[in-house]
């Protein structure tokens, strides 16, 4: 009997390439694919394509400490398996395996595509060569959140401009005029979008968004206490945060300084992490539509797998956020009778 090694030797390719072709995997040129199929057929070896074999997709995410990543991963995995697609979880951390190392490992596997929850792509000035390598291997890619406009793939994201406007308008409606911004890394595309949206809102409404009302801090819990202290010193009456984790960090900083939320300062987060309704006071936040984002990502990837020629394009799909009002925002104390 003929084997994959026989086909590989006849065509002049590796056994891994033959396996990819016979299993309907991407990453092989059309000419090579056809040569392998013709040779395999002549040797009596048939392809498994069309036999309802599950496809395989890498789901790449940083650590799952941030609840929104865990929620996205759960929803995406559920929807992938419903389409007979098996997800491979690839988790990287700042002190462990890097995203680039993981993706280099992924390239050696027979995957049909990749979905990214975060990564190098979402910040300016990073090395994007690993994504370009995936594109060269014709592996379809879908990214959650904004990314470099020159990268090919589908970018599924919440409308950050609208989200920022919603948060600011909510605070303005409560009488706040000294609104601070607590944003993430200054090279992070979503934070840049939120900052620009705030500037446009201020120009359009007359809100005085002073430079000292804007602070940037690394994402994570406990990373924004110094930035929050600067905003307090600047005299803000409320703070719009780029994530729930930053909001909780600000909350802790305010508490340590003896300030009450929302009596002294109001806070708005971003994401609507699953536990926020159980803390006291509950965090007012902007909810990302996790189910819609996940469904959009899986549908986009399925489309790219079926039409790989579209993987060369940069496409953005926006989903609407939702304002969730809880207990960390209130009427500005400057308007209360006791302040008159």
User: Per-residue confidence of the chain (340 residues) as pLDDT tens digits?
Assistant: 567 788 888 889 887 888 878 777 777 888 888 888 888 888 877 666 555 667 889 999 987 888 899 999 999 999 999 888 889 888 887 666 788 887 777 777 778 889 999 999 999 999 898 888 888 888 889 999 988 888 888 999 999 999 999 999 999 999 999 999 999 999 999 999 999 999 999 999 999 999 999 999 988 777 888 999 999 999 999 999 999 999 999 999 999 999 999 999 999 999 998 777 778 899 999 999 999 999 999 999 988 887 766 667 888 999 999 999 999 999 998 877 754 4
Q: CB pairs under 8 A, 24+ apart, for 119-125?
A: 119/60, 119/62, 119/143, 121/147, 121/148, 121/151, 122/146, 122/147, 122/188, 122/189, 122/190, 123/185, 123/187, 123/188, 123/189, 124/148, 124/187, 124/189, 124/192, 125/187
pTM beyond 0.95, yes or no: no
Q: For residue 166, which of 320, 335, 331 has the smallest C-alpha distance?
A: 320
């Amino acid at each position: 009997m003929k084997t994959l090694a026989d086909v590989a030797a006849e065509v002049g390719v590796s056994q891994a390439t033959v396996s990819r072709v016979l299993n309907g995997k991407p990453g092989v040129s059309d000419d090579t694919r056809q040569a392998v199929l013709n040779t395999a057929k002549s040797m009596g070896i048939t392809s498994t394509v069309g036999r309802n074999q599950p496809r395989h997709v890498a789901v790449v995410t940083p650590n799952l400490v941030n609840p929104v990543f865990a929620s996205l991963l759960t929803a995406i995995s559920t929807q992938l398996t419903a389409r007979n697609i098996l997800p491979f979880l690839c988790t990287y951390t700042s002190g462990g395996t890097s995203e680039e190392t993981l993706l280099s490992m992924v390239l050696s596997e027979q995957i049909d595509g990749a979905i990214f929850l975060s990564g190098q792509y979402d910040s300016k000035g990073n090395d994007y060569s690993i994504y370009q390598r995936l594109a060269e291997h014709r592996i379809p890619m879908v990214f959650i959140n904004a990314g470099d406009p020159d990268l090919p793939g589908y970018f599924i994201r919440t409308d950050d401009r609208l989200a920022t406007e919603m948060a600011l308008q909510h605070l303005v409606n409560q009488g706040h005029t000294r609104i601070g911004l607590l944003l993430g890394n200054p090279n992070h595309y979503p934070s840049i979008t939120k900052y620009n949206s705030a500037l446009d809102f201020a120009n359009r409404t007359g809100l005085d968004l002073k430079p000292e009302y804007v602070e940037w801090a690394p994402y994570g819990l406990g990373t924004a206490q110094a930035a929050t202290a600067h905003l307090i010193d600047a005299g803000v009456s409320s703070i719009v945060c780029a994530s729930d984790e930053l909001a909780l960090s600000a909350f802790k900083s305010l508490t340590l300084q003896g300030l009450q939320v929302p009596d002294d300062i109001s806070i708005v987060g971003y994401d609507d992490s699953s536990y926020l309704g159980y803390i006291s006071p509950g965090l007012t936040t902007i909810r990302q539509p996790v189910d819609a984002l996940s469904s959009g990502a899986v549908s986009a990837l399925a489309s790219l797998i079926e039409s790989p020629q579209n993987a060369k394009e940069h496409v953005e799909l926006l989903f609407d956020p939702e304002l969730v009002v809880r207990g960390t925002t209130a009427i500005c104390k400057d308007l209360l009778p006791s302040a008159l």
